[in-house]
Amino acid sequence: MARSKNKKKQPVCGCCGKTGHRIETCTLPGAALICKLRAAAKKTAGKRSGDKFKDDRSHCRSSGSYKRKASKKYVPMKSAKDYKDHARLKASALSQDTIDVPDSIKWLLKMGFLSRSRKCAHCGYTSLKGPLVRKRKNMQDWCHWRCSRNSCNRRVALYYSSVCAGLQMQPPALRSFLLWYCSKSPMKPVLASDAVLRFGISYKQADHCLAALRRQEALAGEREQSKLKLTREVEVDATSLGKFWTKSTNVLFADQIQDLCKKHDVTPKAFPVHIRLVGALQRGGHMVVRFLQPKVTLPKAVPPVEAYREIVRSNLTKMIQAKSPTALYADGALSWQKIAKDLKVPIVQVSHQRKVFAKQVSAPRRGLSTTAGT
């Protein structure tokens, strides 16, 4: 009986798993990286680690000189004097937790960080007593409100319905924290780790308080920007802050993905989504920024340019006061010409594509700058 000839087995790719080719001829970008790693592993196979690599496992040791090095890295201090100063500041901050509790409450009420609760959290009654301070032995004082209804008569937390709702910190400590926060430079972010080293509080308390303060700063910035009006020399521009990738089956960007596929007749597996920002800056004055709608592009496309409808939809034009003398200074995008036409103000353009970032204006309007650019 004749044997059937064995068919040759087709090669299987170790990267994508398909048959008909090997990993050396695979078109996926990760195949070349796998081959490179395999070659590097073959070179180092059979060699001891001590012959070529040093034993760098100092991060696993936690005694002796390694402990001193770790403590220096955690607390940025260079000399013994710095350690003494830090201990003195920490002791002075902690000593404020046990004195001047009523004065600290009055200060917090005056500055608006503590608001009088108008409603009981338990029964909804609209009359609360306080703030009251309850003395306790070997423990911190308990500051609270109290419901004046006889059937309820329950205590309510001090920071209930205030800016720092849910915060577990004594009023003197919160007062010193706020004064320390306001003394910091507005050009550098305040870290929770700095507050932990300064006041000796937990990281959770510091992060909670900083989040509440940043939220109030953001609300104040929104209120301030709603009242601003930009005049005279106003520079306008948009930029892309970054991008993230999304699948072609994403529902949120389905309309943009379908338009791109119909226009370019391609269907990639993933699309980049650009996060963009548009803004207007008065020279020597305030600045107003707005987020644009995320824009989907092809994988190898450049960041998209701001469109006329997107600028109008952002309500940025309402912040520009179209009174003489006022002019717009743009970077060459054609959409700003339509905006200037709607506002009935002149516009001076430069071309960033031609590496022209500033130029002199030959005949500027009276009272306006002779230098154009963004």
Q: What is the pLDDT of residue 316?
A: 85
Q: What is the pLDDT of residue 369?
A: 74
287 bridge partner residues: 281
What are 129's two structure tokens? 């007593």
Q: Find the angle CA(189)-CA(192)-CA(195) to the nearest 5 degrees.
A: 100
Helix axes 203-227, 192-199, angle to 10 degrees: 130
371 bridge partner residues: 360
DSSP 24: G
Q: What is the pLDDT of residue 302?
A: 84
Query: Helix-strand-coil percent breakdown of the chain, rounded to 5?
Result: 35, 20, 45
Where do we find the tokens 């090997």? Answer: 22
* Residue-averaged pLDDT of the chain: 76
Q: What is the pLDDT of residue 93?
A: 47
Alpha carbons within 13 A on the beta-carbon side of 133:
16
Provide the residue type at 242 as one letter. G
Q: What is the pLDDT of residue 193?
A: 84
Q: Which residue has the higher pLDDT, 9 or 320?
A: 320
For 301: left if phi > 0, alpha if psi spans -120 to 50, otherwise beta; the answer is: beta
Long-range pairs, 87-91, Cβ under 8 A, ≥24:
89/198, 90/197, 90/198, 90/199, 90/200
pLDDT, mean of residues 350-368: 75
What are 53's two structure tokens? 């690599």
pLDDT band at 7 (very low <50, low <70, confident <90, very high): low
Question: What does the pLDDT look like over 191-248, one tens digit per residue?
Answer: 888 888 888 788 888 888 888 888 888 888 888 877 888 888 888 888 888 888 888 8
81 bridge partner residues: none
Residues in Cβ contact with 295 at an 8 Å cutoff, skipping those fewer than 6 apart: 256, 273, 274, 276, 304
pLDDT, mean of residues 246-254: 86
Q: What is the pLDDT of residue 205?
A: 82
Question: What does the pLDDT look like over 266-311, one tens digit per residue?
Answer: 888 888 899 999 888 888 888 888 888 889 888 888 888 888 888 8
Tell me: pLDDT of 122 over 70.
no
Q: What is the pLDDT of residue 58?
A: 55
pLDDT band at 57 (very low <50, low <70, confident <90, very high): low
| 374: nearest Cα among 241, 302, 276, 283 | 283
Tell me: pLDDT of 97 over 50.
no
Between 166-170, 190-194, 251-255, 286-290, the lowest mean confidence (pLDDT) is in 166-170
Helix axes 203-227, 171-182, angle to 10 degrees: 50
Rounded distance between C-alpha atoms, residue 367 and residue 361, angstroms: 13
Q: Find the angle CA(275)-CA(281)-CA(285) to the nearest 5 degrees.
A: 140
pLDDT band at 98 (very low <50, low <70, confident <90, very high): very low
What is the spatial order of strands in the sheet that 155-157 belongs to? 128-134, 142-147, 155-157
Rounded distance between C-alpha atoms, residue 345 and residue 362, angstroms: 17
Q: What is the pLDDT of residue 347?
A: 82
Q: Which residue has the higher pLDDT, 58 or 169?
A: 169
Q: What is the pLDDT of residue 94?
A: 45
Q: What is the pLDDT of residue 223?
A: 83
Percentage of the chain with pLDDT > 90? Answer: 0
